[in-house]
Amino acid sequence: MTEPDPALRALIENRSGPLRALTATAHGHGSDLTALAEGEGGTVFVKAMRNRAGGRRASLLREIALAPYLPPLAPPLEWAETGETGGQHGWVVGAWTAVEGRPADLRPGSTDLDRVVGVVRRVGDLPVPDGAAEWAESRWDRFAPPTDVTAFRGQALLYTDWHPANLILGTDSTWLVDWSWPTVGAAYISPALLVVELVAAGHAPAEAEGVVAGCPSWYEAPPMALDAFADAHARMCRAAAGRRPGEAWLAAVARAAADWAAHRAGIPLPLS
Ligand SMILES: Nc1ncnc2c1ncn2[C@@H]1O[C@H](COP(=O)(O)OP(=O)(O)O)[C@@H](O)[C@H]1O
Ligand SMILES: [Mg+2]
């Protein structure tokens, strides 16, 4: 059993009853705790952050605020404690219905790709909840010339973290979890970021674009907007990889983003 901070355990037990088991998830990064918590009433997935100022706390609060609008695409939020009550001021915790499944296989030829594309379409169909209208996407702005940034603006709720473990493939359902930094911007940004993840998983850029070709949020995008975004994203990923040179996965994502941007710019890729 994972042993959390006593204040966090108390906070979870306030809601779940005495814990029989608390098992850290195999995947996930960035949160102070992601675990399956088995209490009296069954098992929930819990995600917790220390309740101190900083990006990750704000991120979990945003994920909790958005949660009512996402099912059945994401599992339902069962409860949340944001530290204002109960005396456990040290933590913010959300608990979602635990679902069973496996991570998506994004490699070329994978039979999961149809299900993944179905998820991207469903993301494109989500309405923007009232409170989310001010979550304007701006992360790519500083990597683009000022004339390009209007191409990143839009009125769509965006999903930007297409890690294979954030797609949970169950027997009959497919869930998209980890809505940790949802924003509102140009609808094509969600499928575009999946394209980069597909390239990182081994697809050639043109093939990866082919995978999402049937998604309205992709094919309705002006090609020049996609070109501008690909360029800005490659710069952003290169900067991230440069800041943390020891992280092989960042280098791999930067390479994939650069390959996609080169494809958009019509530059032939070197044979490798
Ligand atoms: N509702 C859930 N039921 C079961 N497993 C989940 C659930 N939500 C997330 N997971 C698993 O836990 C992992 C970590 O959760 P995630 O929200 O991605 O946290 P992080 O923000 O730390 O990456 C996910 O990649 C997924 O494999
Ligand atoms: Mg995750």
Domain check: are 72 and 157 in the same one?
no
Residue nearest atom 20 in ligand 1 by C-alpha distance: 28
246-261 pLDDT per residue, tens: 999 999 999 999 999 9
C-alpha distances (whole Å) from 106 to each of 143, 235, 263 are: 27, 24, 20
Residue labelled with tokens 């999961």: 112
pLDDT of residue 87: 45
Report which residue type is found at 12: I
pLDDT of residue 237 exceeding 50, the answer is: yes
| Residue 88, in any domain of the structure | yes
Task: Looking at the structure, tell me whether residues 251 and 194 fall in a common domain.
Answer: yes
CA 179/CA 58 separation, integer angstroms: 12
Task: With beta carbons less than 8 A apart as the criterion, state whether 74 and 101 touch.
Answer: no
**Percentage of residues in the chain having pLDDT higher than 70:** 96
Which residue shows structure tokens 């609008």? 69
Nearest ligand, CA of residue 177? 1
pLDDT of 253 = 97
- Supply the pLDDT for residue 51: 82
Provide the whole-model pTM.
0.94
Domain co-membership, 80 together with 129 = no
Distance from residue 135's CA to the centre of ligand 1 (Å): 22
Q: Is the same domain home to 108 and 84? A: no
Q: How far apart are CA 206 and CA 264, in angstroms?
A: 9
Query: 76: CA distance to ligand 1 center in Å?
Result: 13
Average pLDDT over residues 140-169: 97
Please check whether residues 163 and 143 belong to one and the same domain: yes
Q: Predicted confidence band at 6 (pLDDT cuts at 50, 70, 90)? A: confident
Residues 117 and 196 in one domain: yes
pLDDT tens-digit series, residues 75-127? 999 999 876 544 456 889 999 999 999 999 999 999 999 999 999 999 999 99
Give the residue numbers spanning the domain of 13.
6-97
State phi, psi for 257 to the nearest 5 degrees.
Answer: -65, -40
Tell me, yes or no, whether 83 lies in a domain: yes
The residues near 178 (Cβ < 8 Å, ≥ 6 apart) are: 28, 63, 161, 163, 166
Residue located via tokens 């609060």: 61
Share of the chain above pLDDT 90, in %: 81
Q: Are residues 127 and 250 in the same domain?
A: yes
Same domain (yes/no): 117, 58 = no
